[in-house]
Structure 1
Amino acid sequence: MNRVLINSIKSPFFQEAWELYLSAFPIDERRELAVQEKIFTHEDYHFEIVVIENEFIGFITWWQFEGLRYIEHFATLPIHRGKGYGKSILEKFISENEEQAILEVELPNSEIDKRRIGFYERLNFKLNPHKYQQLPYRFNGAKVDLMIMSYPTKIDEVKLAKFEKDFKEKCFDGIINIV
């Protein structure tokens, strides 16, 4: 299993990854293609596709911050779910360095949301009690109430506030100016 960094909508496997992205995330939690093209230009952004023997399995997108890696989007193809690929991808990702990793999850309002939280908890991600709203990912989009999960420990409110400020400046103010 290999993660391959891509940096353009013309990269191999991008179209498959984009189709998965569109189907795996609600509209308010995903970018439009034109915005995604701009995000590719940021040095701290990583869009990695996952392949096994040249077969597309899924993708992980993440941002590098000082002392923190933010997993922005992560998905595997439905035909490959339940095979342990998601677990393997995240275990490798979090083992690559000692920085704290964070990600967002939907509020536990449905069985699928609860199962997703349980999946991350089995990987030792911690559910944090802090209120959190994801900034709009699209023009005329809405903020989304989500929860933060972090690895290997809970994130404190000061570090979360710094992340929110830095992420807004790095991605939104610096690139897409939606907010």
Structure 2
Amino acid sequence: MTSELTHIKIQDFDLVYELMNHSFPSIEFRPRDKQFELLKHPNFTIYARYSSSGQTLDGFIAEWSFADFCFVEHFAVQPYLRGHGVGSEMMRQYLNQAKKQVLIEVEEPVTDLAIRRIHFYQRLGFVFSAFGYIQPDLRNSGEKEVTLRMMNYPTPLTKPEFLQRKKEIFQQVYGMDQAGRC
């Protein structure tokens, strides 16, 4: 029943984007045209897991690859598949193919959902970090900013590592300096 992670088929981008809409607050992902444009970026990849028939998208992992680490910007599984081990299986496959440290962002552990997400990643071997930042509003919507914390796989993140990775993420992923300027 295991399905492998593969690069998304370009014609399936709208399936990925639809799942983003169902899985993330709007300020945490770009408008469709800007998100689609990322597919041309050499450091950006979307891995997909398709159903065994190949007809539907089970979930995806959107990755930015840097010299010393990978940054998972988005990871989502279809709502009807959540709680059935699909997400754990997808992330284990991803971690097995990653040859570098892997970073993800999670919301502060102040809601039940945020705490469940943190525990999910901890069960997979991620380490919850004391380091974090306010994620830029990717739609410039003026909505409430989101405070995020970093989780790192497979080892804890040091402060110098965090500062360097934050700088690279803000420049490459968010297109701005750490002060929030474009």
TM over 0.5: yes
User: Between the two proteins, what is the percent identity of the paired residues?
Assistant: 28
Q: Rate the CA distance shift 1:63–1:138 in 2: closer, same or farther, 3 A.
A: same
Q: Helix, strand or coil: the match of 1:60?
A: strand
Tell me which stretches of 4 or more aligned residues in structure 1 moved more than 6 Å. Answer: none
Q: Helix, strand or coil: the match of 1:43?
A: coil
Measured in 1, the distance between the counterparts of 2:132 and 2:174 equals: 20
How far is 1:60 from its partner? 0.6
Q: Rate the CA distance shift 1:69–1:119 in 2: closer, same or farther, 3 A.
A: same
| 8 Å Cα contact 1:133/1:146 also seen in 2 | yes
Structure 1 match to 2:65: 64
Q: Rate the CA distance shift 1:23–1:153 in 2: closer, same or farther, 3 A.
A: same
Measured in 2, the distance between the counterparts of 1:173 and 1:72 equals: 14
Q: TM-score, normalised by structure 2?
A: 0.87
Asked whether 1:87 is paired with 2:88, we answer yes
- What letter matches 2:120 in structure 1? F
Structure 2 match to 1:100: 101
How far is 1:113 from its partner? 1.0
Deviation track 1:112-156 (CA, whole Å, cap 9, x = no partner) reads 111111101111111001132222312245642111111111111
Deviation track 1:81-127 (CA, whole Å, cap 9, x = no partner) reads 11111111111111113411010111111111111111011111110
Alignment of 1:1-179 (within 5 A): 1-6=3-8, 11-53=10-52, 54=54, 55-141=56-142, 143-173=145-175, 179=182
How far is 1:51 from its partner? 0.7
Is there any run of 5+ residues in structure 1 with no aligned partner, and where?
none
Is there any run of 5+ residues in structure 2 with no aligned partner, and where?
none
| 8 Å Cα contact 1:39/1:45 also seen in 2 | yes
Between Structure 1 and Structure 2, how many residues are aligned?
174
How far is 1:72 from its partner? 0.6
Deviation track 1:1-22 (CA, whole Å, cap 9, x = no partner) reads 1222137xxx232222211101
Q: Rate the CA distance shift 1:15–1:97 in 2: closer, same or farther, 3 A.
A: closer
